Amino acid sequence: MKEDPAVLLSDVSFAYGPEKSIISSLNINLPRNSATAILGPNGTGKTTLLHLMLGWLKPRQGRILLLGRDLDAWDGASRGRTLSLLPQKEPVNFEYTVLEYILLGRAPYLKPLQSPGAVDFKIATNALRLTGLEEMENSRLPTLSGGETQLVLLSRSLTQDPDILLLDEPTNHLDLKNKHHMIELMSKFKQQGKTIIFTTHDPDLASSLADFLILMGNHGLVLHGSFQELFTGENLTNIYGLPVKILEIDGQRKVLVK
């Protein structure tokens, strides 16, 4: 029996208003245990596509299947145990400690009136160890740097222990070292047999992780396929409207604007 894909979009259209069509008749099949990069200029609907896959936005037309089941048929808690979103940014209005904050990731595993217990604390501290923040569990969120905050958000998603991780521009605002760390963690996550789908402005990030590519251009233009095939100078030139050349350095493809 063939395994159901992690995420399947069939004939999906979405618009914010009557005029503003973002996505039309999109068909995408993302297999399990794969990494997919969503690449494209600002305002082409990358985050919108991610929010559609999350189920937060509902398609105007078409269906989205998560592990073979219609997103609408999932109850919140089981969806939360399967799929996690690492948002681009997150409001931090209060001085939560890092540990308190990432424990929120345990919500889909708790009964309606339950609070996190010893098992949840263990999972949360494990996630902190993975991201290298174990020394910071009692630090207050507003005192952290942008890079540390991003790693806290990732720790929360890991605490959620999902099969599929959606990341919205995960390496934005990260310095070189933190960016490298983030890429490492993402690839480690994939090695555990899980699926990652991420938007990015950074072709290097896409190139170091992705098996599949979704290129989103203006006027609803979407290209989807294997990374090897799609990540070409010609396609990127079309999508960004800018002459682009691809160089191969040490087996990695790098983008050069001509």
Q: Which of 43, 68, 117, 146 touches other proteins by CB under 8 A?
A: 117
Q: How far apart are CA 243 and CA 110, in angstroms?
A: 51
Least distance in angstroms from the C-beta of 190 to other proteins: 19
| Under rule CB under 8 A, residue 54 binds other proteins | yes
Cβ pair 70, 64 in contact under 8 A? yes
| Under rule CB under 8 A, residue 79 binds other proteins | yes
Q: Which of 43, 63, 73, 142 touches other proteins by CB under 8 A?
A: 142
Ramachandran angles phi, psi of 173, nearest 5°: 65, 10
Site string for other proteins, 146-165 (x = CB under 8 A): --------------x-----
169-198 burial string, b = 16+ CB within 10 Å, else e?
Answer: bbbbebeeebbebbbebbeebbeeebbbbb
Nearer to other proteins, 113 or 176 (CB): 113
Going by C-alpha positions, the residue among 2, 46, 33 that lies closest to residue 222 is 46
Ramachandran angles phi, psi of 162, nearest 5°: -85, 165
| Under rule CB under 8 A, residue 85 binds other proteins | yes
Name 67's Cβ contacts closer than 8 Å, sequence gap at least 6.
Answer: 4, 5, 6, 32, 82, 163
Q: Which of 1, 113, 176, 249 touches other proteins by CB under 8 A?
A: 113
Least distance in angstroms from the C-beta of 201 to other proteins: 20
| Under rule CB under 8 A, residue 144 binds other proteins | no
Residues in the chain: 258
The helix/strand/coil state of 145 is coil
Least distance in angstroms from the C-beta of 159 to other proteins: 10
Q: Which residues bind other proteins (CB under 8 A)?
A: 51, 54-56, 75-81, 83-85, 87, 90-97, 99-100, 104-105, 107-108, 110, 112-118, 121, 125, 137-138, 142-143, 160, 166
